[in-house]
Amino acid sequence: MLPFKLIYSNGYYLPIGAHVFPAEKYRLVHDRLLASGVAEATDFLEPEPATDQDILLVHTPEYVNKLRTGTLSPREEMELEVPYSQDLVAAFWLAAGGSILAARQALTDRVSINVGGGFHHAFPDHGEGFCMIHDVAVGIRRMQRDGRIRTAMTVDCDVHHGNGTAAIFAGTRTRSEPLPSACTSPLSQARSKETKMRGTHAGDVFTISLHQHNNYPAVKPPSSIDVDLPDGVGDDDYLAWLDNALSSGLRQFEPDLLCYIAGADPYREDQLGGLSLTIEGLKRRDELVFRIARARDIPVMVTFAGGYARNVEDTVTIHSNTVAAAKEVFVRGFSS
């Protein structure tokens, strides 16, 4: 049995028909974790859907009303890039409930993984890029409302910029210490001229996004730290930049909860990504985040976000490896 909980429901399936988003991946990851022996049935907790009150901690009443009554405009539905239905609304409310539960469990068990969620392109007043509701933001705001945390940090490793996250938590932004202009790793020095790291200090939630610069979304509202990676970045450079961004963020900010958005789409075989990470490199990425969180005793909740590998089995492997990495770091200990 794992010393932490995995949050999952068959209701995570997104009823969107034939789509580049592999809506069945959640069930496939669940099944793979059981078949491979990484997890047992008792390691999983089934979430309740978030309440409308929870959703309204992040989203506007107008937007929530449109979703509840099926009155999005054709343009709003187009921006969402998934076909609207009441069943889809239910799936997103459930994903948000899953992230609330994962956040709560992380505060008890030091880590928890929502086998779903990570819908980081949702804004308070609209959805886009397959994301209707920002489940991670809902989880953070609910923990704050319950008095369980004061501050949080999002670490977004999806290949796409966390535009919704940045917009939601823009809050009271002030300038702070300048960030290092180049990564310290010698492996990265060749790339460091192309990679840009931009930073400003945030309010009660500090946002970090590592993403491919030349990719959706075209407009990238500023996160607390943005690492704009050039096309084709591979494992070693990526890991050096992640280490650098995390170190810099944790020098500036002490979060009560770390929300790791573990997108599978920096993978080199991804259909919607242009970075070149390997499956092994992505697992090292997960281990790095978990090792740092554990070493600093920061509870970490995980969501899966995107993953569009040509072969869906690769996406399932990458997400399953995130659970395996958590198991290795939090069960078997770590060295560093």
Number of residues that bind Zn ion (CB under 5 A): 5
Stretch near Zn ion under the rule CB under 5 A, chosen from 43-51, 134-142, 151-159, 196-204: 151-159
| 180 burial type by CB count under 10 A (0-12 exposed, 13-18 middle, 19+ buried) | middle
Closer by beta carbon to Zn ion, 116 or else 263: 263
C-alpha span between 55 and 139 (Å, rounded): 9
Closer by beta carbon to Zn ion, 240 or else 272: 272
Closer by beta carbon to Zn ion, 97 or else 164: 164
Q: How many CB atoms lie within 10 A of CB 56?
A: 16
Q: Are residues 308 and 161 in contact, defined by beta-carbon separation less than 8 angstroms?
A: no
For the bound state, the minimum distance from the C-beta of residue 307 to Zn ion, rounded and expressed in Å, comes to 8
Q: Using N-to-C axis directions, what is the helix angle for 279-295 and 235-252, rounded to 10°? A: 20
Stretch near Zn ion under the rule CB under 5 A, chosen from 38-46, 181-189, 232-240, 301-309: 301-309
Structure tokens at 331: 């069960």
Q: Are residues 98 and 117 in contact, defined by beta-carbon separation less than 8 angstroms?
A: yes
Stretch near Zn ion under the rule CB under 5 A, chosen from 58-66, 91-99, 154-162, 164-172: 154-162
For the bound state, the minimum distance from the C-beta of residue 132 to Zn ion, rounded and expressed in Å, comes to 15
Which one among 30, 66, 142, 160 touches Zn ion, defined by CB under 5 A? 160
> Which single residue brings its beta carbon nearest to Zn ion?
306
Which one among 235, 237, 243, 265 touches Zn ion, defined by CB under 5 A? 265
Report the amino acid identity of residue 178. P
Q: Are residues 237 and 191 in contact, defined by beta-carbon separation less than 8 angstroms?
A: yes
Closer by beta carbon to Zn ion, 144 or else 223: 223
Closest C-alpha to 113, from 302, 264, 322, 288:
302
Q: Are residues 50 and 90 in contact, defined by beta-carbon separation less than 8 angstroms?
A: no
Closer by beta carbon to Zn ion, 4 or else 267: 267
Closer by beta carbon to Zn ion, 265 or else 287: 265
Closer by beta carbon to Zn ion, 159 or else 225: 159
Stretch near Zn ion under the rule CB under 5 A, chosen from 20-28, 47-55, 103-111, 298-306: 298-306
Report the amino acid identity of residue 7. I
Closer by beta carbon to Zn ion, 255 or else 263: 263
**134 binding Zn ion? (CB under 5 A):** no
**Burial profile 208-223: b = 16 or more Cβ within 10 angstroms, e = fewer:** bbbbbbebbbeebbbb
**54 binding Zn ion? (CB under 5 A):** no
Helices (H), 180-311: 189-192, 235-252, 279-295
Stretch near Zn ion under the rule CB under 5 A, chosen from 5-13, 45-53, 150-158, 174-182: 150-158
Structure tokens at 244: 């650098």
Stretch near Zn ion under the rule CB under 5 A, chosen from 142-150, 183-191, 225-233, 258-266: 258-266
- Tell me which residue has tokens 């075989």: 269
Report the DSSP beta bridge partners of residue 44: 6
Q: Are residues 79 and 127 in contact, defined by beta-carbon separation less than 8 angstroms?
A: yes
Which one among 128, 135, 156, 158 touches Zn ion, defined by CB under 5 A? 158
Please tell me whether residue 182 adopts helix, strand or coil conformation: coil
Which one among 306, 317, 322, 325 touches Zn ion, defined by CB under 5 A? 306
C-alpha span between 182 and 304 (Å, rounded): 29
For the bound state, the minimum distance from the C-beta of residue 267 to Zn ion, rounded and expressed in Å, comes to 11
Stretch near Zn ion under the rule CB under 5 A, chosen from 110-118, 152-160, 178-186, 218-226: 152-160
Residues that bind Zn ion (CB under 5 A): 158, 160, 263, 265, 306
